[in-house]
Structure 1
Amino acid sequence: MRPPARLLHGAGLAVALLLPVAAPAPATSPARTPTALPAADGKKGQELPGMPAALDPRADEAACTPASGEKAKKQDWSRQRLDLDRLHGHSTGAGVTVALISTGVDPEAAGLDGRVTAEGAAADDCVGHGTFLAGLIAGTGGGTPKLVGVAPRAKILALRGTDRRGQPDP
């Protein structure tokens, strides 16, 4: 008996998403800030600062990660490869709520337009990582419509999976 095509597609997607997690760790530690990659148009890509996943646990009192002063001006190569304009022709995420388990999400973040539900500590994102991910998922791009998220009309349910400093907390 042959399984339905929808089941195979879902299984393939699950494998594709889990494969990078299952890959062995590199022998050397990766650089803290990613290197610039060439854009799809052959020009030099964006050079935005790296996003921390946690604050230094050894520091007695670390300040929260400030918002970057740098602004992206165009789509980077990865967004061009995803072909978000074509994807948004099929769906923009309207009516969908995405649960995001991370360092929290700032409900007042630009581009999320009041579509974040974050109770208690989940509304405090000192590290900034969860808010960054929420923008990739459901950001509207603010004044730059070419920098929208994958599902710009989706809602975000922020759940905190770390302490205030970004350390995992069951």
Structure 2
Amino acid sequence: MRPALLYGAGLAAALMLPAAVPAQAMPLARIPMALPSADGKKGQELPGMPSALDPRAEEAVCTPASEEQAKKQDWSRQRLDLDRLHQHSTGAGVTVALIGTGVDPDAAGLDGRVAAEGTAADDCVGHGTFLAGLIAGTGGSTPRLAGVAPGAKILALRGTDRRGRPSPGLVAAAVREATGARAGVI
């Protein structure tokens, strides 16, 4: 039964990895996507998030960090009602294994709660660090922008190569490592 469980978990993790569609490592052509806010006014414009670097590029030029700062909650965060959720739990004491492009352990809002060894600490694409912020970000000086579980710890595991291309072997190894580390959520 255990090998079937690991196979199923590996398959699920592989399906959740970013699509292997090449994205440019250069500044992306910004196609603003205006989301309506809960009060009916114009919402935030969200920049594109690459999931892989261009495989034709000679050298993997990492995606630069965004200079944009979120100023308010968008409608999706309001619908999740995270303020109310955080009254019941913040995820304190839970380790979330994040299998993806890696996570920058020094990213703002993660406050030293990321365990990332080797290549898992090098997130050249930025996708894994972005997801870690959605999961366990504190929101920094804007606590209303905190993640779903701002008290959780992140175990960063690599499921892609440095360019963001998924690898079934890396995903399977990461799932085994996450179960061995007794992560509460994978």
Q: TM-score scaled to structure 2, two decimals?
A: 0.73
Greater relative contact order, per chain length (Cα 8 Å cut-off, separation 6+): 2
118 and 33 in structure 1: CA distance in 2 versus 1, 3 angstrom threshold: farther
Tell me the residue number matched to 1:110: 108
Tell me the residue number matched to 1:43: 41
Shift of 1:162: 0.3
Whichever residue aligns with residue 163 of structure 2, its letter is R
Tell me the residue number matched to 1:57: 55
**Higher Cα Rg, which structure:** 1
Cα distance in 2 for residues equivalent to 1:164 and 1:73: 31
Provide the identity percentage.
84
Cα deviation digits, residues 14-61 of structure 1 (max 9, x gap): xxxx8xx7xxxxxxxxxx856221111111111131111111111112
Cα distance in 2 for residues equivalent to 1:160 and 1:97: 16
Q: What do you get for the CA RMSD once the two structures are aligned?
A: 1.7
Tell me the residue number matched to 1:70: 68
Tell me the residue number matched to 2:127: 129
Shift of 1:62: 3.5
Match of 1:101 among 99, 107, 115: 99
Tell me the residue number matched to 2:27: none
Whichever residue aligns with residue 79 of structure 2, its letter is R
Q: Is the 8 A contact 2:33 2:46 kept in 1?
A: no
Structure 2 portions without partners, runs of 5+: 1-11, 16-29, 170-186
Q: TM-score scaled to structure 1, two decimals?
A: 0.79
Residue 157 of structure 1 aligns to a residue whose secondary structure is: strand
Cα distance in 1 for residues equivalent to 2:141 and 2:86: 18
Structure 1 portions without partners, runs of 5+: 1-17, 22-31
163 and 34 in structure 1: CA distance in 2 versus 1, 3 angstrom threshold: farther
- Select the structure that is richer in helix: 2
Whichever residue aligns with residue 142 of structure 2, its letter is T
Tell me the residue number matched to 2:81: 83
Cα distance in 2 for residues equivalent to 1:163 and 1:34: 29
